[in-house]
Amino acid sequence: MNFFPTTILLTKAKFMGKTLVVFILSLLLFFPTPALAFDLGGFLKDVQKVDLNKVVNDVQKVDFNKVVNDIQKGDLNKVSNELQKIDFNPVINLIKNTVNSPASVDPSIAYNQELQSYISKLTGDFKNILESIQKLPTLPEKEGQESLATIDSQLQKLKEDSSNRAKQFDTWSNEQQKKYQELLNNINTMYQEQQVLKGEVEAKNAELPIVERELGLEGSQYDEAYKKYEKLNREIQDNLAAARHIRRELDGLTFDPLGLKSSFNAEIRKYEGENQKLEPLRNDLKSRLDRISQLRNAVESKKAELRSKQSRINTLEQNKTKLESNRQTIAEAAVLATRMSSFCNKAENDINLAKQNIGNVKEYADALASFSDPDILGEIKDLATLVTNLSNKVSQGI
């Protein structure tokens, strides 16, 4: 392998080192979770609470010169202890603590358990890969090639996972956008009904005082009119009863030597004549009483209608407020799902690029005498800057 110029070997070595760094960042960036398991509102709020500066500070505390020296000495325990100063738990806990299955999700699906299991597996994979990376400088060429093949296989799995999750988030985003539109239509329908009801209430409120005033004029005379009506009605009924009695007497009279029939007929005409005078007065009073009853019923009906319409308006307002809240939640969910879908697509592209680089590294590794070239170890220093950039991206929700 000495036929390769030294400069080419250095370039190849640096290329392999950068590929390993990109792979580490891909692992750190790629923490997709089931979209339906997110408590979206809490997640967006809690992102602002995470002290990402602490993560950055932890990275800055790592003595990468010491890491390089320990790797060259083959002391991997010291390397591991030094790298453990970087605490990514705040970011992991952010994901863990903001996961809740919404009511619309089938409760039989344990999304939280699935997420915890996924994070645990991903954490374990990361630990194993990190150990493999730490051992690369000490491995013979053959074992190093096998380790690179393992990394390549893990990259392939991550690529497939990122592709599937991107589709999952994209599908869910479309579903949430459909729900959002349905809610928006319902809100608009409720708003229109509210406006119609408010117009009707306003009209009824304008009519009610007029009817109440009219009722007040009539109603103040109701008791007096009712007493007169009862008195006239009794007199009329008494006259009718007296006339019926005389007719019965008259019908039973077959022999009339004294001329009683003429007297009886005169009595009947007298009672009928009195009723002809009384009935118009009674009927007039009856009309007035009926008018008062109609006005009272109209007032009560309008009041009941107002109460019903106002109750409906209040119910619509409550439902509309609830739908507005749901609409906001779904809107945030759709936005986050779209963002996560885009994020997974980008992760897939990055991982695909890393896979291509791994292929090149395999070719270049054939020309290397050892995986412990100092130029490769020097690339580890770039990790601090790249992780800082990663933290900034996370803090911006990218």
CA 272 and chain centroid, separation = 81
Q: Does residue 210 form part of some domain?
A: no
Tell me phi and psi for residue 4, to 5 degrees.
-85, 135
* CA separation for the pair 185, 208 (Å, rounded): 34
Q: Does residue 44 form part of some domain?
A: yes
E-state strands within 177-269: none
Looking at residue 4, its pLDDT comes to: 37
Q: What dihedral do alpha carbons 155, 158, 164, 169 form, nearest 10°?
A: -130
Looking at residue 67, its pLDDT comes to: 54
Taking the whole predicted model, whether its pTM rises above 0.85 is answered as: no
* CA separation for the pair 234, 367 (Å, rounded): 129
* CA separation for the pair 373, 14 (Å, rounded): 9
As beta bridge partners, residue 258 has none
E-state strands within 103-147: none
Torsion over CA: 6, 8, 12, 15 (sign)? positive
Q: Does residue 50 form part of some domain?
A: yes
Q: Does residue 71 form part of some domain?
A: yes
Domain that holds residue 113: 6-138+368-395
Element containing residue 29 per DSSP (H, E): helix 6-29
The closest of 12, 24, 45 to 387, measured between CA atoms, is: 24
Looking at residue 220, its pLDDT comes to: 67
Can you read off the two tokens belonging to residue 253?
């009279």
Taking each continuous run of H as one helix and of E as one strand, the counts in the chain are 12, 0
Q: Does residue 352 form part of some domain?
A: no
Q: Does residue 217 form part of some domain?
A: no
- Mention every residue, 6+ apart, whose C-beta is less than 8 A from residue 387: 25, 28, 55, 56, 59, 86
End-to-end Cα spacing for the chain = 44
- Within the chain, which residues score under 70 in pLDDT? 1-137, 139, 141, 155, 158, 162, 165-166, 169, 173, 212, 214-220, 255-259, 329-398
* CA separation for the pair 375, 355 (Å, rounded): 21
129-133 contacts, C-beta under 8 A, 24 or more apart: 129/23, 129/27, 129/154, 130/24, 130/83, 131/76, 131/80, 133/20, 133/23, 133/24
* CA separation for the pair 271, 235 (Å, rounded): 10
Tell which phi-psi region holds residue 51, choosing left (phi > 0), alpha (psi between -120 and 50) or beta.
beta
Q: Does residue 194 form part of some domain?
A: no
Looking at residue 70, its pLDDT comes to: 60
Q: Does residue 294 form part of some domain?
A: no
- Mention every residue, 6+ apart, whose C-beta is less than 8 A from residue 66: 78, 82
Looking at residue 366, its pLDDT comes to: 60
Residue type, 119: I
SS3 211: helix
**How much of the chain is in helix, strand and coil states, percent to nearest 5?**
85, 0, 15
Residue type, 292: I
* CA separation for the pair 64, 13 (Å, rounded): 18
Looking at residue 47, its pLDDT comes to: 44
Specify the number of domains making up the chain: 1
